């Protein structure tokens, strides 16, 4: 293990070891930076997520963790099933993959370590004291002790909810609260991504490795009967008869995970001088399953821009500002379209049938899905 404590200055410190943080640490280490990544949890661990990994992240994933790709089922088609039970299908080209967070996060964490990033799980970052010309000192607790380290660049990849003294708490726009629910099922087949309209949200089914099926729903927190509900899969079935038929015969393979509240399109105040990657920089509507790709691509870009600044004029404050602009540009189109697509497809019947029929016509669905993806060209401009 590399030396810790205030005597050592790391090139980069990463807060959070989810997909954004692990990829940032992996990429930074591969670029020759001395990088440490601090994660409060431990891997493997489960997480509420549809586990649909969209195509634009797959080349990066194949570099970082090729063994993940070998086991991950391809998802080459999507179906939208309205409350009336009608099905609307469109192809996904290039194909996406289904990968459980249990496996994805653990393997990315291992990839960061294998690339010689210093990986510390069980380390909770508490504070950040910025230095005037960039970089600063990070305070964290590890095994019950308070520790500090200095880094020339800081990448915050701490997900939707984080609090680090010295960094402004992300602003939460007052919006409707949602509840995210996930389970893994066995005993039913799945090849395509299937999305079911519910009365108060939607629910997706996607294949993951080893023949497993991810079922993940986003439901309005004020949906009748949800609060205090003990059998959420039963509740979901009752919320949409077509979904009940689809879940018939399924067995629960892993315990249900719940996350709440979820605020869609949460705005954040991003402090200067720090790189933000993934949900820590703003949580977008997860409807189109682009969050993981956004997290990984944004994390890799943060590492690349930090490395370029450290090898060049050393101005990480300017590099962080440029990274924020690049991420905003690459995600602007997606942020706009994901929300609209969800609203159209979950509109009250018969509007949702009308919207789904329009999307299933020709290559409309395909072209709309493309608009919800990381726009690499815009990010480079
Ligand atoms: C219901 C739902 C369904 C979704 N479905 C999909 C989908 O199908 N496909 C898709 O692409 N996206 C989906 N998403 C979005 C996706 O889950 C996120 O975009 C993705 O997890 C972001 O990764 P991240 O690394 O930014 O954050 P996270 O995965 O949240 O990782 C952040 C890490 O930081 C750690 N951390 C936090 N604070 C600290 C601290 N102070 N010190 C140390 N560590 C800290 C946490 O423990 C965590 O491990 C979904 C989201 C929801 C809510």
Give a yes or no: residue 16 inside a domain: yes
Beta-bridge mates of residue 254: 184
Query: Is 270 inside any structural domain?
Result: yes
- Atom of ligand 1 at shortest distance to CA of 54? 11
Q: How far apart are CA 287 and CA 335, in angstroms?
A: 10
pLDDT at position 187: 92
Q: Which among 50, 101, 120, 215 is the best mutation to test ligand 1's pocket, defined by most ligand atoms within 8 Å of the CB?
A: 50
For 154-167, what is each residue's pLDDT tens digit? 999 999 988 999 99
| Distance between CA atoms of residues 190 and 51, nearest Å | 13
Residue 203: per-residue pLDDT? 95
Please tell me the pTM assigned to this model: 0.95
205 lines ligand 1 (CB under 6 A): no
Number of domains in the chain: 1
Name the band, by pLDDT with cuts 50, 70 and 90, for residue 7: low
For the chain, the average pLDDT equals: 91
According to the model, what pLDDT value does residue 26 have? Answer: 98
- Does 286 contact ligand 1 (Cβ within 6 A)? yes
Query: What is the domain-level CATH number for residue 35?
Result: 3.50.50.60
Taking CA atoms only, the protein residue closest to ligand 1 atom 2 is 49
pLDDT by residue (tens digit) across 239-298?
899 999 999 988 889 889 999 999 887 566 677 899 999 999 888 888 889 999 999 999
Mention every residue, 6+ apart, whose C-beta is less than 8 A from residue 184.
100, 208, 212, 213, 214, 215, 252, 253, 254
What token pair was written down for 109? 């964490």
The preferred substitution site among 23, 128, 139, 295 for testing ligand 1, maximizing ligand atoms within 8 Å of CB, is 295
- Domain assignment of residue 364, yes or no: no
Give the residue-averaged pLDDT of 131-147. 94
| Span 179-231, pLDDT tens digits | 999 999 999 999 999 999 998 999 999 999 999 999 999 999 999 988 878 78
Q: Is 90 a member of any domain?
A: no
Query: What's the CA-to-centroid distance between 294 and ligand 1, angstroms?
Result: 11
- Show the domain range for 308: 9-72+101-172+265-336
**Ligand 1 centroid – CA 129 distance (Å):** 25
Atom of ligand 1 nearest to the CA of 217: 1
Q: Is the CB of 28 under 6 A from ligand 1?
A: no
> Could you tell me if residue 279 is inside a domain?
yes
- Which protein residue's CA is at the shortest distance from atom 29 of ligand 1? 18
Q: With pLDDT > 90 as the criterion, what percentage of the chain qualifies?
A: 69
Question: DSSP 3-state assignment of 180?
Answer: strand
- Domain assignment present for residue 302? The answer is yes
C-beta 48 within 6 A of ligand 1 = yes
The response to whether residue 39 sits with its C-beta less than 6 Å from ligand 1 reads yes
- The three-state secondary structure class of 327 is helix
pLDDT at 5: 46
Pocket test for ligand 1, best of 259, 278, 372 (most atoms within 8 A of CB): 278
Position 35 in a domain: yes
Token digits for 361? 């016509």
DSSP string, 214-273: EEEEEEETT-TTTTT-S-HHHHHHHH-HHHHHHHTT-EEEEEEEEEEEEETT----PPTT
Q: How far is the CA of 313 from the centre of ligand 1 (A)?
A: 33
Give the ranges where the chain is alpha helix by DSSP (H): 19-30, 58-64, 66-71, 101-114, 232-239, 241-247, 291-311, 316-345, 351-360, 364-370, 376-380
pLDDT at residue number 2 = 41
On the 0-12 / 13-18 / 19+ scale of CB atoms within 10 A, 77 is: middle
Sign of CA dihedral 286, 288, 293, 297: negative
The pick from 159, 265, 298, 346 for probing ligand 1's pocket by mutation, whose C-beta has the most ligand atoms within 8 angstroms, reads 159
Atom of ligand 1 nearest to the CA of 140: 42
Confidence of residue 3 (pLDDT cuts 50, 70, 90): very low
What pLDDT, on the 0 to 100 scale, is given for residue 269?
Answer: 63
CA separation, residue 309 to residues 155, 316, 322 (Å): 14, 6, 11
Which token pair is 199? 């009365």
Mind listing the pLDDT tens digit for each residue in 66-80? Answer: 999 999 999 999 999
Residue 372, domain member (yes or no): no
Q: Please check the confidence at residue 83 and state whether its pLDDT lies above 50.
A: yes
* pLDDT at 237 (0 to 100): 87
Examine the pLDDT at 368 and tell me if it is beyond 70.
yes
Would you mind telling me the total number of residues written for the chain in this entry?
381
- On whether the CB atoms of residues 299 and 381 are closer than 8 A, the answer is no
Q: What is the mean pLDDT of residues 303-308?
A: 98
Cβ of 18 less than 6 Å from ligand 1: yes
- The CA dihedral of 240, 279, 333, 303, to the nearest 10 degrees, is -140
pLDDT, residue 319, reads: 97
Structure tokens at 152: 């020339």
Residue 1's pLDDT band, with cuts at 50, 70 and 90, is very low
């Amino acid at each position: 293990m590399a030396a810790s404590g205030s005597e050592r200055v790391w090139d980069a410190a990463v807060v959070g070891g989810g997909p954004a943080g692990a990829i940032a640490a992996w990429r930074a280490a591969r670029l020759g930076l001395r990088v440490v990544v601090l994660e409060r949890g431990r891997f493997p661990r489960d997480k509420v997520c549809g586990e649909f990994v969209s195509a634009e992240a797959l080349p990066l994933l194949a570099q970082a963790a090729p063994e993940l790709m070998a086991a991950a089922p391809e998802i080459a088609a999507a179906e939208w099933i309205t409350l009336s039970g009608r099905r609307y299908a469109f192809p996904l080209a290039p194909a996406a993959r289904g990968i459980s967070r249990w496996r994805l996060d653990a393997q990315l964490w291992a990839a960061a370590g294998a690339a010689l990033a210093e990986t510390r799980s069980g380390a909770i970052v508490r504070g950040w004291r910025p230095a005037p010309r960039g970089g600063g000192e990070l305070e964290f607790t590890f095994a019950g002790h308070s520790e500090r380290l200095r880094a020339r660049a800081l990448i915050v990849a701490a997900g939707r909810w984080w609090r680090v003294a010295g960094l402004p708490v992300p602003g939460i726009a007052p919006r409707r609260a949602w509840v995210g629910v996930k389970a893994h099922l066995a005993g039913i087949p799945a090849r395509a991504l299937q999305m079911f309209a519910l009365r108060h949200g939607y629910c997706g089914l996607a294949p993951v490795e080893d023949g497993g099926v991810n079922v993940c729903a986003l439901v309005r927190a004020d949906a009748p009967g949800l609060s205090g509900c003990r059998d959420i899969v039963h509740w979901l079935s009752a919320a949409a008869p077509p979904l009940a038929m689809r879940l018939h015969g399924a067995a629960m393979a892993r315990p249900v995970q719940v996350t709440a509240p979820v605020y869609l399109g949460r705005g954040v105040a991003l402090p200067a001088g720090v790189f933000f990657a993934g949900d820590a920089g703003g949580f977008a509507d997860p409807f189109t399953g682009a969050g993981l790709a956004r997290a990984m691509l944004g994390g890799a870009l943060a590492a690349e821009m930090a490395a370029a600044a450290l090898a060049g004029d050393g101005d990480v404050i300017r590099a962080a500002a440029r990274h924020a602009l690049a991420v905003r540009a690459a995600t602007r189109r997606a942020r706009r379209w994901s929300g609209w697509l969800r609203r159209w497809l979950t509109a009250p019947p018969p509007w949702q049938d009308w919207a789904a029929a329009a999307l299933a016509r020709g290559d409309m669905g395909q072209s709309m899905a493309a608009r919800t993806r990381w726009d690499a060209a815009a990010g480079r401009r």
